[in-house]
Every structure is written in C-alpha cells, then in structure tokens.
Amino acid sequence: MTGVPLHTALGATRDEVPVGADFGVMDHLDDLIEAVGTAVAEKFSRIKLKFRPGWDVLMLQAVRTAFPDDIFHIDCNSGYRLSDVALFQAIDEFQLAMIEQPLQHDDLTDHRELQKLIQTPVCLDESITHPYRAQQAVDLQSCQYVNVKPGRVGGLTNAVKIHDLCQQAGIPCWVGGMLESATGASHCAALAMLDNFTYPADIFPSEKYYREDLSEVPLSL
C-alpha cells in the first residue's frame, strides 16, 4: 500500500494522539510539584510518576494533595514483590489510573494475584515482549492495561497484533516510547491512533534525547 499515511495503512481512524508527561525521582518534592504543575498547566492529558522505595507513598500523597482532580499513574519498573501487597492496597485511596509494572517482568502469575487484591488497575509493560506473552497475560487475567512499545515487541506488525488481541479481550492499551528519533516517534504516533490505544501515550520530541536528529522533519507536540 502506497500513497497513504502510515496510520491509515495500519487501520487507524483517528488523526491525533493525546500524550502525557513523565517525571522521575527528584531531589526534592517541591521540585516535583512545580514540574507537575507546569505539565498540568500545559494541558498534558495525564501524568506518570516513577515510584520506588524511598520515593513512594509520601511522594504520591504530596502530588495528589496538590492536584486532586488530575489523572496520574505510577511506574514501578518491576521494583516490588507480591509480598509488598499492603503498600499497593494503601495507595488505592489515591485513585490512580493504573500501576505500571509493579512486579518482576517475568512473573505473570504474581501480577494476577496482585490484581485480585487491589482496586487500582495493573498495567504490564516490561512483561509484554511478544504477542504470545500478551496473550498469556490476557488468559491469566494478569492486568487491566497493556503498554505496547514497538521497539520491545518486535515492530509495528507485532504491536498491532497485541493491540488487536487486547481489544478482543476488552483490555485497553497505550503506546510507550523507547528513546526514539523523530522517525521512530512518528511510527509510535501512527500506531497510537488505533482505536484500542485509549490511554495517553508516551511520545516525546526527539530533542529530549538527541542533540542532533537526522530526521528531516522534527517531531513536535
């Protein structure tokens, strides 16, 4: 198929993508609150916060107190174990959109057990490396969201397969990035226009990562 935009070739019916803002661990909570406030003022669709031991419940409490009505989720990057379930039960009160990859990347069973014990939806990210793994997660009911990173799952073809099988199972998805150039980020944006990518994506201008991008057309938000 030639002469059509990539998102059309992939089967998308939308032509724009909502995106979120992401924040890592900072030296001071005040710095985080200020940065989140800027993102909220700039109308980012949601906020992602890195979450790890020592930068956890007190951080989340401070952010939620400052921004009671905005959409947040946390990303644990496999930093916890099922034995930490009490911690995740304690943060149910913060009404997060999801908890991204709370447990080990290769443990779909423990994610299933965690999801049974908490109210906040579990999202799998590092666990999703191939359509087969996504199907396993769906069959085990290990999560309520899936983050699809084309660079991790084997490209656009596999990413679309994961989108489709999750859509059939009623599990919404969202697109994550992996430090792409403008060309790669544009591919992610085209993918994110598919119907079941319903949560705001992680797509950023390449200038965030590269001093010089060889792409002819820069990607902007």
Residue 50 falls in the annotated catalytic set: yes
pTM tops 0.95, yes or no? no
Contacts for 28 with CB less than 8 Å, ≥ 6 apart:
none
Alpha-helical regions (H) of the chain:
6-10, 29-41, 57-66, 85-90, 108-117, 131-140, 150-153, 156-169, 182-191
Give me the number of domains the chain comprises. Answer: 1
Contact status, residue 143 vs residue 115, Cβ threshold 8 Å: yes
Domain assignment present for residue 221? The answer is no
Helices vs strands, H then E, count in the chain:
9, 7
Domain boundaries, position 143: 6-208
> Active site residue: 48, 149, 161, 208, which one?
149
CATH (domain of 82): 3.20.20.120
Residue 149 falls in the annotated catalytic set: yes
Residues 25-52 pLDDT 10s: 999 999 999 999 999 999 999 999 999 9
> Active site residue: 50, 116, 161, 208, which one?
50
Closest CA to 76 of 56, 102, 105, 94: 102
Domain assignment present for residue 215? The answer is no
Cα angle vertex 23, ends 209, 196, to 5°?
85
Residues 75-124 pLDDT 10s: 999 999 999 999 999 999 999 999 999 999 999 999 999 999 999 999 99
Domain assignment present for residue 219? The answer is no
Neighbouring C-beta atoms of residue 159, cutoff 10 Å: 28
Domain assignment present for residue 39? The answer is yes
